[in-house]
Amino acid sequence: MAWTWLHRFGSPPHFYRVAGKLIPWFAWPAAVLIAVGLVWGLVIAPPDALQSDAYRVIYVHVPNAWLSLMAYTVMAVAAGVGLIWRIKVGHAVAVAIAPVGAMFTAVALVTGMLWGEPTWGTWWVWDPRLVFELVLLFFFMGYSALRGAIEDPDRADRASALLAIVGVVNVPLVHYSVVIWRSVHQGSTVFRSGGPAMPASMLWPLLVAALGYTFFFGAILLLRARAEVLNRERSGSWLAQLAED
Amino acid sequence: MADFLHMSGYAFYVWTSYALAVGALLLSVWRARRNLARARVAARRRVAMKGGQ
């Protein structure tokens, strides 16, 4: 198999340049789609028959929860690429994702509490969906903590990559927890058999916001990975040129 | 307008969620841009030190 494209993209100067060119293509759609999705959900979408305006928390809760899973999966794949093919940029991308992933997860958890209190009557329950999402936060934080505890950069890369890969089993557990176990948390609204369980007037702003968050994740990932790639470069002749771009 | 802000009594939950989510987005953009700016300064410094040898 030809892995040359992977190695080419994995060359630090190439990655740094391409990432720099790609950022606006993620950042601008992100800004527009998130603004449109959130305002639409807040102002135009109709109130819910049972939850009235409390359900509007969904427009920030679901995109953050979706991105927490997406971010972890991409982090584990990037760390795996770094570990298996010894491509340094893979580790750099994983490092770049960890703090952002932790942020999405924390916001998903807290907005979930802010939704749970008025609708379930409690801020927190030890429910499978909530517990696995909390475990996801610990994996993001554990990844960064483990790196911080190992001084040798190569060893830190390998050990943290292993942790990231092991933790990926948690991702399907979060997603399918509401199907497998009897849960307080409501089931999937969008990706479920029989189609979305929401009228289009409520669903569209959610999809727009979620798409915007996905672009946002791309932009932040590239921005942070550029900084990480630059920090890792000690002596490359391209460094002088790049630092000026 | 007052009705809109009131969110049928759920104002605290809805507005806190939105403020938190938007605040987190802005904070992460600010931090990512700061990281890259710092990495650039540090890289230039390393280049300058090598050139002076």
Return d(Cα B39, Cα A226) in angstroms, integer: 9
Between chain A and chain B, the number of residue pairs with CB atoms below 8 A apart is 102
As for how many domains chain A has, the answer is 1
Q: How far is CA B20 from CA A110, A114, A156, A222, B25, in A?
A: 9, 11, 32, 23, 9
**Residue B29 forms part of a structural domain:** yes
pLDDT surpasses 80 at B53: no
Diameter of chain A by CA atoms? Answer: 63
Helix axes A58-84, A200-232, angle to 10 degrees: 40
**Residue A235 forms part of a structural domain:** no
pLDDT of residue B48: 82
**Residue A4 forms part of a structural domain:** no
State the 10-residue block means of pLDDT for chain A, 245 residues long: 69 91 97 97 92 94 97 98 94 97 98 95 93 97 97 96 96 90 83 82 95 98 96 78 64
pLDDT surpasses 70 at B30: yes
Containing structural domain, residue A218: 24-34+56-230
Contact A107, A156 (CB under 8 A): no
- Find where tokens 């979060």 sit: A174
pLDDT of residue A245: 60
**Residue B9 forms part of a structural domain:** no
**Residue A216 forms part of a structural domain:** yes
Give the ipTM of the model, two decimals please: 0.92
**Residue B35 forms part of a structural domain:** yes
Q: Which residue of B has its CA nearest to A229?
A: B39
CB contact under 8 A, B17 and A43: no
- Chain B residues touching A233 at Cβ < 8 A: 43
Q: Which residues have C-beta within 8 Å of that of residue A9, sequence separation ≥ 6?
A: A15, A18, A89
pLDDT of residue B2: 83
Return d(Cα A64, Cα B51) in angstroms, integer: 46
Tell me the pTM. 0.93
pLDDT of residue A243: 60
**Residue A238 forms part of a structural domain:** no
Rg (CA), chain A: 20
pLDDT of residue A21: 95
As for how many domains chain B has, the answer is 1
B15 close contact with A: CB closer than 8 A: no
**Residue B28 forms part of a structural domain:** yes
CB contact under 8 A, A52 and B8: yes
Please provide the distance, in angstroms rounded to a whole number, between the alpha carbons at the two ends of chain A.
35
Cβ-in-10-Å burial (0-12, 13-18, 19+) of A166 comes to exposed
Containing structural domain, residue B42: 17-53
**Residue A144 forms part of a structural domain:** yes
Q: Which comes out higher in pLDDT, residue A226 or B53?
A: A226
- Chain A residues touching B42 at Cβ < 8 A: 230-231
**Residue A185 forms part of a structural domain:** yes
Helix boundaries (H) for chain A: 4-9, 12-39, 58-84, 88-120, 128-149, 153-167, 170-180, 200-232, 238-244
Q: Taking Cα atoms as reference points, which of A64, A197, A188 lies closest to residue A129?
A: A188
